[in-house]
Chains A and B, each alone.
Chain A
Amino acid sequence: MKPHENLDPLVIAGKSYSSRLLVGTGKYKDFAETQAAVEASGAQIITVAIRRTNIGQNPGEPSLLEAIPPSKYTLLPNTAGCYTADDAVRTLRLARELLDGHDLVKLEVLGDPRTLFPNVVETISAAKTLIKEGFKVMVYTSDDPIIARQLEEIGCVAVMPLASLIGSGMGILNPWNLQIIIENAKVPVLVDAGVGTASDAAIAMELGCDGVLMNTAIATAKNPVLMASAMKKAVEAGRAAFLAGRMPRKLYTAAPSSPTAGLITPASK
């Protein structure tokens, strides 16, 4: 067995995943690109949106589920775009029916169309209803440690605080809050939203996050497939660095890496 081969799986709702990178399927130019990027990312959990089908305009339109088959990936239907608990709950009931009873879902209730900031009050309300109905809820939320703890207490199977706002690519704005959330949590904590490039993902993992969920950083890169593979490596590297345990930070050190003894003496005059 290779050193990285599933010795350290991500476990969500009792199921193990070898990849700690979760990716979305939005904003790609076509399904071929979506497929290639998803493949390059190595992700096993893939988010999808649930939307009204168009009627009549384009009957031969290809289906996302043909490009990203549920037989090969764990699909994670999400409620992005919902602004009320009721809409989010209805969307996920439809998703569960659409995906033959699949109950692992991503709950996201937004509070504002300009910033896409989450509405945590509606999120908590929706989470309660969904959990009562048997859904396994991975929940997108703000980086507030108290809200994260409440969502866990309600019974969410993973808590997913933002690094920064959705689609912003601003990276991790509050590593200290994330650290508190991670310290408190007994369920996996995944950074969801705000990652801009590979180093952001690595930093999230070095902080001790259990995984990272992203879409825009890959889909809107100039070369999405290459960025997908960069993110895969960043998440793996960040996780390994976290497990390895970093050296302490010091302003300076009186302990150089090379021996202080045995230096040659200056040539005699």
Chain B
Amino acid sequence: MISITVNGERRRFEQPLNCSQLLSQLELAGKRVAIERNGEIVPRSRFPEQMLDDGDKLEIVVAVGGG
């Protein structure tokens, strides 16, 4: 069991997982998002291999309307 903070919300996962698997579990697969992990950018090309650790803090962002 690992615990990850995603966009400020604590979430628990039964199995270790990578960024792509996380996005599928969050129903975000196929969406254009960017991920910051513990203050560092995870390149989109590395989503399938970047494993997440217990206690990671993630920010997952999209483009929205703004000035």
Asked if A and B bind, the verdict is: yes
A residues whose Cβ falls under 8 Å from a Cβ of B: 24-28, 34, 47-53, 55-56, 59, 63-65, 75, 77-78, 80-81, 90-91, 93-95, 97-99, 166, 193, 213-216
Interchain CB contact under 8 A, B36 and A94: yes
Contacts of A97 in B (CB 8 A): 34-35, 41-44
Interchain CB contact under 8 A, A55 and B6: yes
Interchain CB contact under 8 A, B59 and A65: no
Interchain CB contact under 8 A, B66 and A53: no
Closest chain A residue, CB of each to CB of B44: A97
Cβ distance A71 to chain B, nearest Cβ, rounded Å: 13
Mark each residue of chain B from 21 to 55: 1 if its CB lies under 8 Å from any CB of chain A, else 0. Answer: 00000111001111110010111100000000000
Contacts of A99 in B (CB 8 A): 63
Other than the known A50-B61, A53-B62, what 7 A-B pairs have Cβ atoms closer than 8 Å? Answer: A25-B66, A48-B64, A48-B65, A50-B34, A50-B62, A93-B36, A97-B42
Closest chain A residue, CB of each to CB of B6: A55
Tell me, yes or no, whether B14 is within 8 Å of chain A by CB: no
Q: Report Cα–Cα, A201/B44, bound state, in Å.
A: 39
Q: Can you show 20 pairs from A to B with CB atoms below 8 A apart? A: A27-B65, A28-B65, A48-B66, A49-B63, A49-B64, A50-B63, A53-B31, A53-B33, A53-B60, A55-B60, A64-B63, A64-B64, A78-B67, A81-B66, A90-B39, A93-B41, A94-B36, A97-B35, A98-B34, A166-B67
Task: Count chain A CB atoms within 10 A of each CB in B7, B59, B63 and give the residue with the most.
Answer: B63
Cβ distance B61 to chain A, nearest Cβ, rounded Å: 5
Interchain CB contact under 8 A, A78 and B41: no
Interchain CB contact under 8 A, A53 and B65: no
